[in-house]
Structure formats: structure tokens, C-alpha cells
Amino acid sequence: MDRIRAWVLGSLLFLAVISTPVFSFQSPGTLSLQRRRNIHRYEAQEDDDVWDQLDDDERQLRRNVATAKELIRMKQAEDALLYFDKAVQIKENAFLWQRGVLLYLLGKFDEAHDQLSRNIRHYENVFEQPATEERIWMLASEKRGDLLVVPDQQPFSISLEEEELKESRVVLKKAELFLAGEIGEDEVMETIERTKSDYWACYGQYYLGVGMEARNQMDKAQKYIRSALEVSPLKEDDAGLHMMQLHGHIRGW
């Protein structure tokens, strides 16, 4: 009887596994059942009053962005980009830094630069704070794409005056200066070590990896990005972590 009971339970478990919806992206316009549930969960988190006040375009824009973020989490870069593209078609000046990063990761450096420069203008004019991470990615796009940048697109001349935009996150500022070629990697690492923070060790090393990749020093890029993921204290639902994981996945690291 015990053998029969074990066989029955095993069969039931097998049937349960094979009948469970999987995260398989069938086509750019088709999401699995589980992914749709994730998007609906996103909508449920929106304040009802806010959601009711949105027009159809804004609701669709948010659905597209939520879908793209879910696809990033699933390491489906090209499919995620399709949904960010749909969002841009609805609202050209939407703040979509993730789209800029995806374009960079997929080797579309001129488009990445355009998206990120628009994000920088928008963010710094609205919030009056430095868009340092977007600047880092824009600099990386310039270097990887050998782009000839016109003066009004230079990273230190966009929107507000530089003295009005003081970056309090020192590690990010050092990473930006490293991308700009103004300091070396040792100075960035010394700054990271002084913070005694796993959070800044994660982000600092990640952007060092981005900088090394922009300089075509792939061994060092791989080392820093892997190290960033190893020390990461970021939660599983963190968008920054998802982008780091996608980066490593695309590069085969």
C-alpha cells in the first residue's frame, strides 16, 4: 500500500508541475498567464483614485512600462525594449531610463545616448538633482559608440548649472568621473571602501564594470560586475538588481 500511495502522490506532483504556467515568451504581443498576473498585480498596487483619474493613454503607458520591467526581470531584453518602444509612442518624453540602458546593452549606442540625454534634461529640470546614473550610461554610450557629441549634449552642460546640482552620493559621482576619464579606478575603489557599505560596494563596482566595458576592458568589466552581484544587498524585486542581472546575462558573465 505504501508503494501505491507513493506512486499516486508522485504522479499527482508530476501533473501539477507540467500543468503550471511557465514564463515563456511566445511572441512580442503575447504574455504568459503568470506574467499577466504580475502586470495586474502592478495595477492593483496603484491607488484606485489615481488610476481612475488617468486617461486611457496613460493607463496603457503604465501597463507597457510594467510589462517591460517584468520582461527585464525575466532577462528578455529585446522583448522588454518592444514594450518600452510602445510607451514612447504614447508619450515621447516619458522618463524611461531603463529604455536607455536596454538600448546600450543591445549595442544601439546612438539611440541610447538620445534617450538618456532626454532623461537627464527632464530629471534635472524637474527635480533639480543630478541625474548621475543616467550621465554614467550616456558617457558609456558615447565611448562604446564613438559618438561625436555636440556641445549641448555634453554631460556637464545639460539643464541647470553644475554648481546647483551637487551629487551627495559620492560613489556615483566618482563613477561618473571615472567614465569621464578624470580619475582612475583606484580612487573609485578607495571611495567605495570608505563607505563600508554593501549597497555602495554593489553599485560602485557595477558602474566600474560599466566603465571598463566602455573602455573595452572586458576582463575587468566582468570582474567588477560579477563582484557587484556577489556583494549585492538588493532585494529580489529591486529594478537595479534586475538590470545588473540582465547585463551579466547578455554578456554571458
Residue 29 confidence (pLDDT) above 60: no
Residue 82: give the domain boundaries.
Answer: 55-155+167-251
99: domain CATH number is 1.25.40.10
Picking from 64, 72, 74, the residue whose alpha carbon sits closest to that of residue 22 is 74
Residue 48 confidence (pLDDT) above 80: no
Residue 75 confidence (pLDDT) above 90: yes
Residue 34 confidence (pLDDT) above 60: no
Mean pLDDT of all residues belonging to the chain:
80
Tell me if 102 is assigned to some domain.
yes
SS3 158: coil
Residue 9 confidence (pLDDT) above 60: no
Tell me if 40 is assigned to some domain.
no
Strand partners of residue 27:
30
What is the mean pLDDT of the segment spanning 151-158? 45
DSSP line for 48-76: HHHHHHS-HHHHHHHHHHHHHHHHHHTT-
Tell me if 210 sits within 8 A of 227, measured CB to CB: no
Tell me if 246 is assigned to some domain.
yes
Residue 150 confidence (pLDDT) above 60: no
Work out how many domains the chain is built from and give that number.
Answer: 1
Percent of the chain's residues with pLDDT above 90 = 60
Tell me if 66 is assigned to some domain.
yes
Picking from 68, 61, 229, 207, the residue whose alpha carbon sits closest to that of residue 138 is 207
Tell me if 83 is assigned to some domain.
yes
Distances (CA, A) of 199 to 78, 155, 231, 253: 28, 25, 8, 21
pTM of the model: 0.77
Tell me if 47 is assigned to some domain.
no
Tell me if 18 is assigned to some domain.
no
Dump pLDDT digits (tens) for 94-140: 778 999 999 999 999 999 999 999 999 888 888 888 999 999 999 99
Burial of 232 from C-beta contacts in 10 A (0-12 / 13-18 / 19+): buried
Comparing 31 with 19, the larger pLDDT belongs to: 31
Tell me if 42 is assigned to some domain.
no
What is the mean pLDDT of the segment spanning 149-178? 66
Q: How far is residue 60's CA from residue 55's CA, in Å, rounded to a whole number?
A: 9
pLDDT at 120: 92
